[in-house]
Amino acid sequence: MEPFEIILIALVFIAAILIPFLKKFIAFQFISLVSVAFIIGNLFNEIIKTSELDIQSSVLLILLVGGLVYNSIKFYKKNIA
């Protein structure tokens, strides 16, 4: 494994530990919503480039987008409205 991969794995573990503590902050919630939207878009792009959009990929993307919409509505009702 390259050093970049080791650093990336370590950052993922640190982020997984810190997420419950960071969910209190509005800025973290907003940044996570925006970053998840970009991640879902990148995943969709990779699925389209590598293979056709089959039923499993479609269900995965529908569930991911549904979760994103749910969290966005919850964030809006709690913090903005």
70 C-beta neighbours (distance < 10 Å), count: 10
Distance CA 67, CA 72 (A): 8
Q: Where are the alpha helices (DSSP H) in 3-81?
A: 3-22, 26-50, 55-75
- What are the structural domain ranges in the chain? 25-80
pLDDT for 28 equals 83
- Contact status, residue 47 vs residue 61, Cβ threshold 8 Å: yes
Q: What is the pLDDT along the chain (81 residues), one digit of tens a residue?
A: 788 888 888 988 888 898 888 888 888 888 888 988 998 888 888 888 888 788 888 898 899 999 999 989 998 998 887
Length reported for the chain: 81
Whole-structure pTM value: 0.70
